Amino acid sequence: MSRLRIFDEGQPDQPILNTADAASIAAELDRIGVRFEQWQPRADVQPGASQEEIFAAFREDIDRVVAEHGFTTVDVASIAPDNPNREAARAKFLDEHFHIEDEVRLFVAGAGQFTLHVEGRVYEVLCTKGDYIAVPDRTLHWFDMGPEPAFVAIRFFKDPEGWVGHFTGTDWAARFPRYEPESAA
């Protein structure tokens, strides 16, 4: 189940909000310019599935999102728990960073946790299958796929170069909870 927890940045142990209600998640994220929607996935796919398989299964969704928002590139992040590169894949996004490009993702299998750091607050968004999230460019964030990653996310870009991560060098991410897979029922 998807979940949003909001923390004051000085109190990582004590969420000021904890909700699994999709409408509440969307409303809270809307206040900081983040779009969150829950879609009914049109296919069952497995973490680790190939990009070709995902493109074929979700072609209608992809075409619609691309047409609505003018994306120029689409790819797939797909990883299974037995992936030999899982540790490196996880480490890549664990520290606070931003992109000069909106971060637009559609989760079509499994789960992963985006944490956004905005105006003194920390928004921990556990994304699960069916979640569409669009995070504005320059939003400080980190992403934890957990020690045994299992997810497939379709990624939409206007300028793939803009997706390069700019790391802030802070330790904010280390102060907040890591993704705990058991909470992603």
Residues that bind ligand L3FJYLFB (CB under 6 A): 77, 93, 103, 105, 112, 141, 143, 153, 155
What residue number has its CB nearest to ligand L3FJYLFB?
A: 143
DSSP H helical ranges for the chain: 22-30, 51-57, 59-69, 86-91, 172-175
Nearer to ligand L3FJYLFB, 13 or 136 (CB): 136
- Cβ atoms within 10 Å, residue 155: 16
Out of ligand L3FJYLFB, Ni ion, none, which partner does residue 112 contact, by CB within 5 to 8 A per kind? ligand L3FJYLFB
The region of 67-75, 88-96, 112-120, 164-172 touching Ni ion under the rule CB under 5 A is 67-75
d(CA 102, CA 114): 14
Q: Please identify, among the stretches 19-27, 65-73, 92-100, 114-122, the one whose residues bind Ni ion according to the rule CB under 5 A.
A: 65-73
| Of 23-31, 66-74, 104-112, 122-130: span binding Ni ion (CB under 5 A) | 66-74
Strands 150-157 and 103-118: antiparallel
* Distance of closest approach, residue 60 Cβ to ligand L3FJYLFB, in angstroms: 21
Sign, CA dihedral 135-118-142-40, equals negative
Quote the tokens at residue 41.
Answer: 């996935």
Give the Cα-Cα-Cα angle 134, 120, 96 (nearest 5 degrees).
Answer: 60
- Binding stretches for Ni ion (CB under 5 A): 68
